Amino acid sequence: MNGWNAIFALAVLMLTGCSGIKPYPNELEKNLYLTVKVESGSMFSSVKASVDIYRVDLNCQTHYQGTVNLNNETAKVGIPASRPSYLVFNFSSSSFLANSSGSINYETVLTPRAGHIYDAEVNYVDDLYNVTTFERGKRGRHQVEDRSLSDCKGG
């Protein structure tokens, strides 16, 4: 029986290693605070949220840096200041009774300014999702306008 457990563990490890999802290193000073509220609306369904973080280069090409799994709590993430980061919020839902699943993404480009903190309110409640980002600095708090990757001007 031990042999089967080892084979199963190896198979799981190979599948997760091949999925392309890697944890975001999150080694920089924390400047993005994510307040997360995720509710499926039914005890027979579930929703998981995460954010994929990409570096955007001078030619507007994205480079995957990693993923942060989000729970119903506050997560603190460090993203580079003075450089655009492409944030892709993923909401994956599944229903046990209907035997269905789906996902929806919310995408934005954020270029944090040095010395500022960014608050992102991430909500998925009853099949409705919303992400709103605010900048906090010496002059108070104001909402940050969403930017699309297609607005990027390559160099």
Contact 115, 137 (CB under 8 A): yes
Read off φ and ψ for residue 15, nearest 5 degrees.
Answer: -65, -45
> Per the domain annotation, does 137 fall within a domain?
yes
How many structural domains compose the chain? Answer: 1
The answer to whether residue 144 sits within a structural domain is yes
pLDDT in single tens digits along all 155 residues of the chain: 444 444 444 444 444 445 578 999 999 999 999 999 998 877 888 899 999 999 999 999 999 999 999 987 899 999 999 999 999 999 998 887 767 788 999 999 999 999 999 999 999 998 899 999 999 988 899 999 999 999 988 76
Residue 16 lies in a domain: no
In a domain, 4, yes or no: no
Quick check: is 63 in a domain? yes
What is the rounded (10 degree) CA torsion for 133, 137, 140, 143?
A: -20
Residue 57: give its domain's CATH number: 2.60.40
The dihedral over CA atoms of 48, 60, 115, 30, expressed in degrees to the nearest 10, equals 30
Tell me, yes or no, whether 14 lies in a domain. Answer: no
Whether 49 maps to a domain, the answer reads yes
* Residue 45, domain extent: 21-151
